[in-house]
A and B are shown apart, each in its own frame.
Chain A
Amino acid sequence: MTNKHTDQPTGEVENTATNAAGVGIGTSTAADSTAAADVNATATGSSTTDNDSATDTVSDNSANTTGKDVVERPLGVFTRPEGGRGWRDWLSTVDHKKIGILYGVSAMFFFLVGGVEALLIRLQLAAPNGSVLSADVYNQVYTMHGVTMVFLFIMPLAAAFANYFIPLQIGARDVAFPRLNALSFWIWLSGAIFLNTSWIVGGGGADCGWFCYSPNSGVAFSPSHGVDFYAVGLQILGIASLVSAVNLIVTCLNMRAPGMTLMRMPILTWMLLITQFLLLFALPVITVALFLLMFDRLFGAQFFNPDAGADPLLWQHLFWIFGHPEVYIIILPSFGIISEVIPAFSRKPIFGYQFMVASGIAIGFMGWGVWAHHMFVSGIGPLSVAAFSLSTMFIAVPTGVKVLNWLATMWDGKLRFTVAMKFAVATVAMFTIGGLSGVTHSVAPANTQQTDTYYIVAHFHYVIFGGGVLGMFAGIYYWWPKIWGYLLNERLGNWHFWIMLVGFNLTFGPMHILGLQGMSRRIDTYATGYGFEAWNMVSTVGSFLIAFAVLLFLLNVWKSKRGSPYLQPPGPDPWDARTLEWMIPSPPPVHNFDTIPSVHTRDEWWHRKYAENEQGEVVSVVTAEEAAQTGDAKGVHLPSPSFWPLAVAVGFPLIGYGIIFNLWLALVGGLIVLTSLYSWAMEPADNPDTQHDDHDHLQHDDDNAHTEDHDNQDSQDSASESPDDNKDNKQLTVA
């Protein structure tokens, strides 16, 4: 073969080119490409550089049209990402663990944002006739505080736990739809940023309260674009949550390891699964409401305008049909977390596993039947009030079951009060306070007095902060070593815990009194002489204590990270825990499990470490280090990273701005979304360019190939003698 085209008749020149191409195609092994390089090098006559160009081909990734003979990255920066290190990898990752971390870090950021807003509120109310904020800004701040904390902090933090731990706890390599997973995060982030840009471009945040009752949400009472951003932004966030919900439900139902029956699933996974179902059914409702609101405000519709014959109660119903399940969306993940933490530190299995699961499911169901208790004073009629009163009282039952079970788990356990455990116990306690004050609301006459007072504020902060946030912190302290590979400092953690607990009670405890004294919720200031001064000041001091505690937490993260190289790494299982995520190294390798474990019992990991001896005593048969996987499996077939989820998400805020400001922008955003979706659809789930060793053919071949694939695995795990080989392999090849 020769490259001397000038010597050749025209007709044959192209043949030369195609021949050269023919040699180049399919040269995946180093030997072949070297051969091709040789041929080409000879052809171009640079015989002296033969060896150089051949080695270039193998070693150098940057391609060249003339100097080298093989084009490595013909698409340049548009080359499909392959994962690895660096910030680009975070933008294109489809790894559920990385997405979980992204969720968590972003949620913590917005926790700080929402926290600052909370401090502003408390500063304003610290003393009578506060003048820190104007009434208008105060409205915006408390609205955005609520929206931020609910939609941008606690929900995504739960999503972080869900993303990170559901696959690990059920023994999967990834979620069912990894790119959808990335999509849900990026859309959520774009929506969150969009929502907060209303401070800059929307003339301030939304100012209608987080449940945004009509007619306060109408243009007449809220002429700035804040509510528009609320309406559009929450819709974007809703897309993210829906996508995530679908994905995680399918993951829980379809991706479990062999032997992991539903009733062997850890409680956390169970609670998160229920949460996803709640999201799946609740979000469409709020989306409808927001859609109507958007049309009211931006396109002159009259859905909530009584002047045009509409009914503002429509909004309240729609909102609370979403809103009450939302409470459980917030609280159930936290329940799941403490249901993992408490058994681990009580050295006992959870008490009444079936009841825990059943009560979770019951809460999930009954949560749909209580929404109108938010509307007792809206004039829904005595019959409705009575019915919803009863249903609200009933929902305390499954919750009570849970509280009892946690107590019973601790009963007679070998309790270790680590920071995580302390947070978990505090969660139980604080949530119970919140729950009890909730029961008082179910009594309609009391409710009538309490509605729209600080009593309500106290109640739901005990539920959401006491039950949700403290539980999340329990989870953070518990799983931190798993995620990052180092432990958080217990001493600083203790300071964090106690200051936060004290601050929390100082902040929200007095609010009960203030509420009963008649202090209205959402007033921007109050006059002297009502007896509000002292408790408000206490409350403000408490809020700053919470802020200080959060700073301590951040300090703890920083100091622990700095100190970690000098300490013994925590190993795969620092807490002697019970679930599958602790059987892999910390932090987990990208492929999670070297081989997918087969599950034989609930708390599988604990049962691999301990067994009963002949005397019926529980003894350690093997240490965690010995039983754990090493994480060094090679050639595990993983889904390929992709930029398209990010690209799709970029389009959504543009559509949002477009709807609010200029429809042409929406067109641009729509085209970006459309284009990216098309690219996504055309992009194979597995990148054909990556080196999959012998797994390359899997996407094309049928099940026979899976067996072959399995045979080629490095078998590290003693439990891999599972009878259910097919199912085992399915985990490997899911994209």
Chain B
Amino acid sequence: MSFPSFPPMTASSTSYQNTMTAMMQPASTNDHTLIGRIAAQGKRSLSLRSLVATSDHILIGRMFIVLSLLCAFATAVLGVLLRIEHIAHLFRLRADHYSFMVFDDPNNWFRMWTLYRMSFIFLVLLPLLIGLGMTIIPSQIGADVLAFPRAALGAFWCWLIGATIMVVSVLGGGGWGSLYHVTPDNTDAVSLTLLGTGMTICGLLLAALVIATTIISLRETGMSLKNVPPFTWSMLVASVVWLTTFPIVIANIALIYTGLHGGQATSFAVSEDENIWLQLDWITEPPAVYALAIPALGIILELLYAASGRKAPWPTFGAIAVGLFGFLSIGGWLQDFFVAGNLTADGMPVASDPRYQLPYVVFAMAIMLLVFAFSANMFSLPRVKNTRTASLTLMLVAATVFGALRVLEPFELLESTITTSVFNALAVAGIIAAVAGICHWSYQLFGVTLVPEKMNQIILILLLTGGLCLTGADALSGVLGADSFVLLPEVALDVESPLSSQVEAQHVSSAFVQTFDTGSIAAFLTFASCLGLSLVAAGLLMLSIEALTTFGRTPQQVTAHTPSQEMASTT
């Protein structure tokens, strides 16, 4: 296997070296920044036109980043609310057995829970990483321009409008199916949710296409695909994986939508054994969900190189790891693995299926190898000042370990909260990766260091501790036997729904409620996870505020900072 090798960071001049050097130049000579461009064009500030009609990839990327950070905060808050509801159940704080505290009824709870997961994927992680890719990749490959800048702008607006339709329709009673059958009352809202999701995905796919084409087709002379920077390589792998994974979601949505409108007889949404959410939830579960974290690996490598000033021990290793990560996270083929009672076609339980276990074991091995490889650099750094790399790596390792644990048969954790923990770990890892990337390239992105160094550290610590708290607590609950958060336990028992019947079949008898009847440990763990998520939300809030304020900065304010200082402090 000879995968592309990343260029060595030695004194010998390579194009990568040049690019890096160029990126560290002050604004006066080679101003790649947005602010610099606006200043060059003689504009005083951002106008509506420059936001709505721009063809500047940095501005488009920045819009992606800022909006997805805001979405991240909102999603985290939604997660906190969901957990508060959960705690309320466990402490029996509700007025009566079936009523809810935050959400009116179980159906609402379910819809919000699905929204939480979907928005983390489509409104937060993907756009955040795409935004980062759009801004950074052209300068990394010496292109200075995206392949299809207008398509990139179209992608942004398509994403934004699709996301708006999606969120608003969920709030208005739609959602990806529901606990109860989809009724004529909410068919329209559900349809809008589905179509909004499709539109959101289309926007993101278009953006991924633009990025992939840029990487393939617009590299500078002398830069073969073999020696592109790690982040670029990881974005190429990620874009291709996204481009081959998410169309399957769109196909499913088309099928569901037509079924929903084609009449009750054949509707997928309302028939007894199939539910909309069950047809789509494979993207929120391993292995497909790992695809969201592919660029994170690239960012880790970039940070390591930048921090150490040295190449990795084996130049091609990083590329291989990233590629492998991409291979393994292709998950569309597993999409209805779980249909019909989590049994395989042979009637075996899925958890015992080697085909299902294998990827995760390999995954774990790959990540472990990666960590070993990096650790050599990390510990030999002149100044160990690498919170981002460390935290990012930690979250990824957590996700992988949990993911592997989840499928190993002896533990029987497949439907436990550890699934949620894997998802959350990846989500937080993705966010940390993006934050790390934004801080690392903030000069290219915003013309300034995004946040003061101390604030930067605080945010990262918040995200890391919050993330670890969140995922660790969930994982522990899972190990202790808690059910997946698909449903609140009692709802699962009481409500006749396609979902509950399945959950009931396998897990409810041995679940959470029985094991921790008083709910004390469960409540504590849930509380811990809720706290963790709150910390993440706080970190995201700080980050969003910083991003927003930076977004509107004028060139004059920027020049107050000395770029060289900024760069020194961030590296």
Contact = CB atoms under 8 A, between A and B. Distances in A.
Q: Do A and B bind each other?
A: yes
Interface of A: 6, 9-11
B2 interface: no
Interface in B184-225: 220-221
B109 to A, nearest CB: 52
B142 A6 contact: yes
A9 B30 CA distance: 6
B412 interface: no
B144 interface: yes
A391 to B, nearest CB: 73
A11 B142 contact: no
B31 A11 contact: yes
10 contacts: A6-B142, A6-B221, A10-B30, A10-B31, A10-B32, A10-B37, A10-B40, A10-B144, A11-B31, A11-B40
B214 to A, nearest CB: 15
Contacts of B220: 6
Interface in B27-71: 29-32, 37, 40
Contacts of B221: 6
Given A9-B30, A10-B40, A11-B40, 10 more contacts: A6-B142, A6-B220, A6-B221, A9-B29, A10-B30, A10-B31, A10-B32, A10-B37, A10-B144, A11-B31
Interface of B: 29-32, 37, 40, 142, 144, 220-221
Contacts of A9: 29-30
Nearest to A6: B220
Nearest to A9: B30
Contacts of B144: 10
Contacts of A6: 142, 220-221
Nearest to A13: B144
A5 to B, nearest CB: 9
A6 B30 CA distance: 12
Contacts of B40: 10-11
Nearest to A4: B221
A76 B31 CA distance: 39
B35 to A, nearest CB: 13
Nearest to B142: A6
A11 B142 CA distance: 15
B29, B32, B40, B144 — which one has the most chain A CB atoms within 10 A of its CB? Answer: B144
Nearest to A5: B144
Contacts of A10: 30-32, 37, 40, 144
B230 to A, nearest CB: 23
A615 B40 CA distance: 92
A9 B144 CA distance: 10
Contacts of A11: 31, 40
A11 B32 CA distance: 9
A178 to B, nearest CB: 42
A15 to B, nearest CB: 12
A235 B32 CA distance: 65
A11 B29 CA distance: 9
A473 B458 CA distance: 102
A11 B42 CA distance: 12
A102 B30 CA distance: 65
A328 B221 CA distance: 81
A31 to B, nearest CB: 35
Nearest to A11: B40
Nearest to B30: A9
A583 B40 CA distance: 68
A10 B144 CA distance: 8
Nearest to B220: A6
Nearest to B145: A10
A44 to B, nearest CB: 14
Nearest to B29: A9
A664 to B, nearest CB: 29
A10 B274 CA distance: 55
A683 B37 CA distance: 39
Q: Pick the 3 closest A-B CB pairs, nearest first.
A: A9-B30, A11-B40, A10-B144
B15 to A, nearest CB: 11
A9 B28 CA distance: 11
A6 B218 CA distance: 11
Contacts of B37: 10
A10 B27 CA distance: 12
A10 B220 CA distance: 14
A9 B40 CA distance: 12
A10 B22 CA distance: 12
A6 B141 CA distance: 12
A11 B40 CA distance: 7
A593 to B, nearest CB: 55
A442 B32 CA distance: 94
A7 to B, nearest CB: 10
A9 B220 CA distance: 14
A9 B36 CA distance: 12
A10 B32 CA distance: 8
A571 to B, nearest CB: 65
A30 to B, nearest CB: 35
A6 B32 CA distance: 14
Contacts of B30: 9-10
A97 B144 CA distance: 58
A9 B221 CA distance: 16
A619 B176 CA distance: 106
Contacts of B29: 9
